[in-house]
Amino acid sequence: MISKIQEIKKEVAKVVVGQERMIDGLLIALLCDGHILIEGVPGLAKTTTVNALASALGLDFKRAQFTPDLLPADILGAEIYDPQNNSFKIKKGPVFTNLLLADEINRAPAKVQSALLEVMQERQVTLGDTTFKLDPPFFVMATQNPVEQEGVYQLPEAQLDRFMFKLVVDYNTTQEELEIARRISSGSSGTIEAVVDTKDLLEIKQEIKKVHVDAEVEKYMIELVNATRNPSDYGLEELQDFIQFGASPRVSIDMFKAVKAMAFMRGKDFVTPVDVAYIAKEIMRHRIVLSYEAEAEGITTDEIIQKVLETIAIP
C-alpha cells in the first residue's frame, strides 16, 4: 500500500512543484480523518494542491470563498420554497463533498466559521427537519491569509483546536519557482489521473492502524504535550510566564494517529521519535495560547515547541 502513497504524490507533482511538507500534511490529515489549516500568502499553490489531491484520489472537490457577507446557509445549504409544488426542497451547500477548500476562512464572520467547524466535528448537516450524514471521507482544508488585517475575523483558540494541523507555507525556492514559471508559460503541466479509490483509502487506513508505537515513544509524546502545560515540571521554568494555556488533550489523540501515518508514509511499520519531531509543530502551534508577556517579547509558539523538543529526553 505504500506504493499507492507514492503514486498519489507522483500525480500531484505533475502540477505542484515543491511544497512537500504541505502535501505530506494533507495526506496525513486525510488518512487520519482530520482537518488542516494552512496559513500562507497568496500564490503558493494551496488551491491547486488540494484540487490535484482530489483528482489523484478520485474524490469530489468543492471550493468555498469566504467573505464578510457570507451566511451559514451559503456553506451548509437551505430549504428553498417551490411555489409550483407548494413545498420546500433541500438545496445542499458546498460542504456536501469529500474535499472542501474553505478559502480565507478568517474573512467570514463567527456564525459561518462556527457552522463549518460544527460540520467538521459532527460530519453531518441538519437542514430543516432532516439530518444528512456526509459521505466519507470528508476533509476540510482551510486557508487564512496573514497579509490582510482589515475585514478579518480571527478564529478563536477553542475553534482552532478542531484542526489537526496548522501548516505555515513559505515561498518556493528560486529553482522551484523557475520550474513553475516554465511549466505555466509553456502549458506543460500533465493531466492528473485517479490512482486510488475509496476502497484503497480504507485499506491504507487499516494498514496505518497496524503501525507499532513503542510504549517509550508513547510516553515521549505525552510528555511533549504535558510540558506545554506544566513547563516547570520539566526544567522549563523560563517558559512558565509565556504560556497561558498549554496544548489540549486533542493534541495527544491527534499526535498518536498522525505519527503512525507519518511512519507508514516513510515505508516503516513502527514509529520513531523522528516521526514525532517532524509533525510536533504542525500539531501544536495553533493549540498553545501565549501570554501577554510572550507577545510583548515576540515569542512564538514555534519557538516554545522547539525549546520543549530540545529539552524532553528522546527515548
Which residues, in sequence order, are bridge partners of residue 81? 88
Question: pLDDT by residue for the chain (315 residues), tens digit each?
Answer: 667 888 888 888 878 887 788 888 889 998 998 999 988 877 777 778 888 888 888 888 898 888 888 888 888 888 887 787 777 788 888 999 989 998 888 888 888 888 888 888 888 888 877 888 888 888 898 888 776 555 567 777 777 888 999 988 888 788 888 887 887 777 766 778 888 888 888 888 899 999 999 999 999 999 999 999 999 888 888 888 898 888 888 899 999 999 999 999 988 889 999 999 999 999 999 988 888 988 888 889 999 999 999 999 888
**Cα–Cα nearest to 77, from 125, 113, 123, 122:** 125
Cβ(12)–Cβ(23) under 8 Å? yes
List the grid coordinates of 114: 462556527
Exposed / middle / buried, residue 146 (Cβ in 10 Å: 0-12, 13-18, 19+): exposed
Task: Give the C-alpha separation, 234 to 215, whole Å.
Answer: 20
Spatial strand order in the sheet of 99-103: 61-65, 99-103, 139-144, 36-39, 165-168
Which amino acid belongs to residue 13?
Answer: A
Q: Is the pTM of this model over 0.95?
A: no
Q: What are the DSSP calls for 192-246, one per residue?
A: P-----HHHHHHHHHHHHT-B--HHHHHHHHHHHHHHH-GGGGT-GGGGGGEEE-
Number of H helices, E strands in the chain: 13, 11
Structural domains of the chain ordered from first start? 2-186 (3.40.50.300), 204-311 (1.10.8.80)
**Cα–Cα nearest to 54, from 166, 198, 164:** 198
Which residues, in sequence order, are bridge partners of residue 245? 289
**Cα–Cα nearest to 263, from 221, 311, 309, 306:** 221
Phi and psi at residue 244, in whole multiples of 5°? -85, -45
162-196 as b/e, with b when 16 or more CB fall inside 10 Å? Answer: bbbbbbbbeebeeeeeeebeeeeeeeeeeebeebb
